[in-house]
Amino acid sequence: MHSSLLRQIDQVVKVNHHDPFQILGFHLTQESAGLVRCFQPTALKVFLLTDGESREMYKIREEGLFEIILPGCAGLFPYRFEAHYQDGTRHTLHDPYRFPPQLSDYDRYLFNNGTHYRLYDKMGAHLTTIDGIDGTVFRVWAPNARRVSVLGNFNCWDGRLHQMRSLGASGIWELFLPEVGQGESYKFEIRTSHDTILEKADPYQFFSEIRPKSASVVWDIANFSWSDEQWMARRRQQSSYRQPLAIYEVHLGSWRRDPRDPSRFLSYREIAATLVSYVREMGFTHIELLPLAEHPLDESWGYQVTGFYAVTSRFGPPEDFAYLVNECHRQGIGVILDWVPSHFPTDGHGLSGFDGTALYEHQDPRKGLHQEWGTLVFNYHRPEVANFIIANALFWLERYHIDGLRVDAVASMLYLDYARREGEWVPNEHGGRENIEAIEFIKHLNSMVYDQHPDIMMIAEESTSFFGVSKPANWGGLGFGYKWNMGWMNDTLSYFSTDPLFRKYHHGSLTFSLLYAFSENFMLPLSHDEVVHGKGSLLSRMPGDNWQRFANLRLLFFFLWTHPGKKLLFMGGEFGQISEWHCKVSLDWHLIEEDEKHRKLQQFVRALNHFYRQTPALWEDDFSPTGFQWLDFNDVDHSIISFARYGQNRDDFVVCLLNFTPQVHHNYRLGVPKAGKYRELFSSDAGGVGGSGVVNLEPLTSINEPHGQASDHILVKVPPLGGTIWGWEG
């Protein structure tokens, strides 16, 4: 044998070859003979099976390399191996090394260029049939690895048996494994340039073992039959900006547990049987799910992702998650998914140091380490990494029909010094703190997503005053459709936690949000972040006696639903959860059965939602000053504000009055924008929802005298810690 051939054989038997196809499989010799080699280190003997004929192969290396020469062979032909083992067992095997590369040069080019937006159709593990043989083709990106193998039960987790082929400069490794099918667990074994052996889960896995196990699972996610055509067609015809959006934020693991076994998660299908009908009955338009991509730690709530393309196995297989989404759509409920492209954890089986180098993250910890969370920051400048994330966004939208992505921790992506002290970060090329690479990535992400799916929502959880978060990228913005209004949330909750006696000194916290309310397309969130980490529940933060606490909470929700912007409420808030949210236990549903106050609060939120959805003035013009008019924001001493909300038609309006003290007022002057009769349409103080019953039963005729910023006014009864909505009757 030539020295180069011997060297390559050494590399194969020492499991250190970047292209074992050069040695293994079928080869034509210069003597017009066929040569077949296989590496079976645990076999005593190997036979080549062809057309019913069995020929014993020669063991040319003690490590388990077998070879046979077939004179007069014109070309590749069908064959199999029969391996005999020391325990007397025999296995018949197809040879994975007789199949040519399956990934096209064009696919490789697009990936390395960062523009393969259907990457999930190529990378990872895909069930396929080649030359009539069923199996799975595996692909993984590990450009700095010396060798990559597929591990699984099918090879006793022995990295010697299924060494992959490097597809050149693309950095992709590939291997087709015949007869490996649905449900097989696998990992990639990576030999680094420093001869360290790593075992990694598949970054593109569609399914995973249940934690604490961490292997990937071969799975076909295209076998679910969708029946949400009407929803998808309607979504394409409507703009969410001109529609009511009342979002119910849910953590699936703790919304409801099995009452017979509180430690057990309900499955996707079990949740679908109860959650969807509950949300529909409560009048919410959408469910927003805390992250459901695979994650190892329950306490991370899903925000530390190890399987970006895998729906978590905690609640069942992928088709059951598809069933949940499909059921939402069939019942008229949209689905928004919390999505985390900002960072990933350091778990050994995940993306961290994937091929022995900083592949998905930055090598410099001043760029690549998120010190506050102990996680790693994506290297957005690397085309393959950006491609991985953008394709992932499209994956959830296309494969699971998701209606929107709420993008987590955008501020941490925008600023190089986020949660870092002096000396712990590196300025950009202009000496500034903005992360130019991340900003360009976000623009690219939003441009591609909206180009492919203009009818979905990209929602930024962004807590700073960064310009143009929800403005189009070609206008100089980031290109999101919506931005969470964290300022409104903080100011409002701070105000409501103040004793009503002192609220007049904090009046600006109520009115300040209207100075910038139309600078972005805002969503107003009362999210999970506000009921954790010692903050207590929403109800527990309300001051006063028990009646006042519930009245304050109703008024808080009233303010949320009447303020310009789309709405979001975390689960449990709607019935006044008392305890702080904990991801390990169910919500306290027993409160509704045991205490009328909680039940009536739930009824109030239901009534508020349905009234909101039936009142276009509260949602048709959320993002323009033309949809809002102050009527009076100067009644500081009484802590009362009033404003009008308008639909697209200026004659379609409602008047809102909010009293933030327990004082009842009679014959209170409420400014109205137009002369005529007004009727009270909705009150947070109605007796049926737990209020004191201070309501205005009869229509009132306006008095032609200006009040506040209004041309006319009516004289009304003002309920304690209550809000009322008035409609014009002409």
At residue 263, the pLDDT reads 87
Mean pLDDT on 350-367: 95
* Pairing assessment for the beta strands 334-339 and 404-407 based on DSSP bridges: parallel
At residue 384, the pLDDT reads 97
Alpha-carbon distance of 661 to 3, in angstroms, equals 91
Q: Of 338, 461, 491, 712, which residue is the catalytic one?
A: 461
Alpha-carbon distance of 107 to 119, in angstroms, equals 8
Does this chain's domain 3-98 share its CATH topology with 622-728?
A: yes
| Secondary structure of residue 602 in the 3-state scheme | helix
- Identify any residues that bridge with 712 across adjacent strands, giving them in sequence order: 672
Q: In this structure, what DSSP letter does residue 467 have?
A: T
Q: In this structure, what DSSP letter does residue 374 have?
A: T
Alpha-carbon distance of 568 to 583, in angstroms, equals 19
Mean pLDDT on 591-604: 96
Q: Which residue has the higher pLDDT, 88 or 406?
A: 406
* Max CA distance (Å), the chain: 109
CATH number of 3-98: 2.60.40.10
Mean pLDDT on 145-174: 96
Q: Is the pLDDT confidence value at 224 over 80?
A: yes
Mean pLDDT on 301-312: 96
pLDDT digits (tens, 9 = 90+) for 176-210: 999 999 999 999 999 999 999 999 999 999 999 99
Q: What is the pTM of this model?
A: 0.95
Mean pLDDT on 429-439: 94
Q: Where are the domains of the chain?
A: 3-98, 105-217, 622-728
pLDDT digits (tens, 9 = 90+) for 7-17: 888 888 898 99
Q: Is the pLDDT confidence value at 1 over 70?
A: no
Mean pLDDT on 305-332: 97
pLDDT digits (tens, 9 = 90+) for 629-684: 999 999 999 999 999 999 998 889 999 999 999 999 999 999 999 999 999 999 99
DSSP code per residue over 172-188:
EEEEEEET--TT-EEEE
The fold of 622-728 is Immunoglobulin-like (2.60.40)
Q: Of 355, 408, 491, 621, which residue is the catalytic one?
A: 408
Residue from 471, 326, 458 nearest 394 by CA: 458
Asked whether 406 and 237 are in contact (CB, 8 A), the reply is no
What is the token pair recorded at 662?
Answer: 């327990």
At residue 427, the pLDDT reads 92
Q: Is the pLDDT confidence value at 314 over 60?
A: yes
| Secondary structure of residue 669 in the 3-state scheme | strand
CATH architecture label of 105-217: Sandwich (2.60)
Q: What is the share, in percent, of the chain residues with pLDDT greater than 90?
A: 91
Q: Is 545 designated active site?
A: no
Q: Is 158 designated active site?
A: no
Alpha-carbon distance of 519 to 184, in angstroms, equals 51
When mean pLDDT is compared across 364-373, 501-510, 511-520, the lowest value belongs to: 364-373
Residue from 430, 387, 353 nearest 196 by CA: 353
